[in-house]
Amino acid sequence: MGSSCGRGCWEWASRLRRLTGFSRLLSTAALAPQICVVGSGPAGFYTAQHLLKHHRLAQVDIYEKLPVPFGLVRFGVAPDHPEVKNVINTFTQTAHSDRCSYYGNVTIGKDVTVKELQRAYHAVVLSYGAEDNRILGIPGENLSGVYSARAFVGWYNGLPENRDKTDITEGSLAAIACSKVKRVWLVGRRGPLQVAFTIKELREMINLPGTRPLLDPADFTGLGDVIKDVPRPRKRLTELMVKSALEKPGEREASRWASATKEWGLKFRCSPLEVLPAADGKQARGIRMAVTRLEGSGESARAVPTGEVEELECGLILSSIGYRSLPLDSSIPFDSKLGIIPNSLGRVQGAPGLYCSGWVKRGPTGVIITTMNDSFDTAQSVLEDLQSGLLKLSNSKEGFKSVRSILHSRGVHPVTFSDWEKIDAAEVARGKLAGKPREKLVDPREMLQLIGH
């Protein structure tokens, strides 16, 4: 009798645990925050990573306008820096989480609006980066032979929108191999103490095979005393420029430079005024620049025209003056002058439940580690708002289920992460045939055809 009662009690307890567990599952499902991230570059993936790690119920959906993920890690990192792309492994782990979904080939603002996303999700994080470039705003900028550095980088990295100029794609590799470029000038409005490149980039340029640097000693004389009190990274960078410009190179370096067939140089205190046309009026033949002087010192120094003018003959001009974010749609507050979404710690001003991270939050500055920390900060703001009740989980949200209906009605077919992995495998297979890590597909239609869309 006692044995039977014990078995019966155990069965009832087991059923009760199952019922309680089921009840708890229902309650937690109702309380699971539905969050979407717009943009699958570093800012988007780092935001998602932090949310998933620090909230055990959060469901995060990542939307991307291209079929393929990873943003500037795929399309902005130079092909000869594959180590920088290792973060893709971390992003892939995030995408494989059972609480994370990726939806490519979806253009927010066209295929689905931000307002529609806000109705479907408890929180919407805009992490779509800076997809435009700043313009010089000078006569002749539209002549043939003048491009933005962004378009040039997109070309050799196989960015679909730049593929017709096109690790490095076969088309661009062939074009660069046949290049007749022998000398490249890097021109800046200010001086050696205001350069924006890093010491690592400078070392790579100095050690570039087959090339020699052209540094005017007059630009660097006397800088040794000036840099005593500047921050260490700036000091080390300037010391390397001073050494390269003023000191006699070692025997090995001198031999390498003597046999070099190409040159690169730094030209300071010059501000572009006009791109000069060739005789046909269509092609660029050079650039006219204002010679400047500096007012102030350090990072805050301003370049002021002296009245003198200098002309530089060149057939190819690349403007590298920064990227620029654009508003997705009219419902989003946007500072067009700064090119950012006005925000406080990632919370979009005047728009509860709307957040931003990455370049669209702070402007196109910093490297991947900067973006990581910035994105973690925004994700933390979302978590705090969930905890405080500012984001009301009692308001049921359907997340992608709701968005899927909208996309279906508009004839849009999202690309999943497993679809991307088919594209990835195809690129790696194509690259293997060419003796490369991968050969990128550059036509979205070809990508979609490959996965049966």
CATH class of the domain comprising 135-322: alpha beta
Per-residue pLDDT, 79: 65
Listed by start position, the domains of the chain span 33-131+325-415, 135-322
Cα 313 from Cα 150, distance rounded (Å): 22
Distances (CA, A) of 423 to 420, 443, 445: 5, 12, 12
Burial class (CB in 10 A: 0-12, 13-18, 19+), 354: buried
Instruction: Give the per-residue pLDDT at 3.
Output: 42
Strands 323-324 and 132-133: antiparallel
**Distances, alpha carbon 368 to alpha carbons 96, 154, 321, 372, 374, in Å:** 21, 18, 19, 6, 10
N-to-C CA span, the chain: 65
Q: List Cβ neighbours of 408 (8 Å cut-off, separation of 6 or more).
A: none
Q: Alpha-carbon distance 41 to 72, whole Å?
A: 6
| Cβ atoms of 120 and 403 closer than 8 Å | yes
Among candidates 296, 319, 287, 314, which has minimal Cα distance to 190? 296
CATH superfamily of 33-131+325-415: NAD(P)-binding Rossmann-like Domain (3.40.50.720)
Q: Give the span between the Cα atoms of 57 and 296, in whole angstroms.
A: 53
8 Å CB contact between 340 and 361: yes
> How far is Cα 250 from Cα 272, in angstroms, rounded to an integer?
36
The pLDDT averaged over each successive group of 10 residues in the chain (453 residues) is 43 42 40 95 96 97 95 73 80 97 96 96 90 76 85 72 59 72 92 90 91 93 83 91 90 90 94 93 92 88 93 90 77 87 95 94 84 96 96 91 96 96 94 85 92 88
Integer Cα distance of 317 and 165 in angstroms? 15
Confidence (pLDDT) at 21: 41
Q: How far apart are CA 225 and CA 328, in angstroms?
A: 49
Query: What is the reported pLDDT for 221?
Result: 87
Task: Report CA 71 to chain centroid distance, whole Å.
Answer: 6
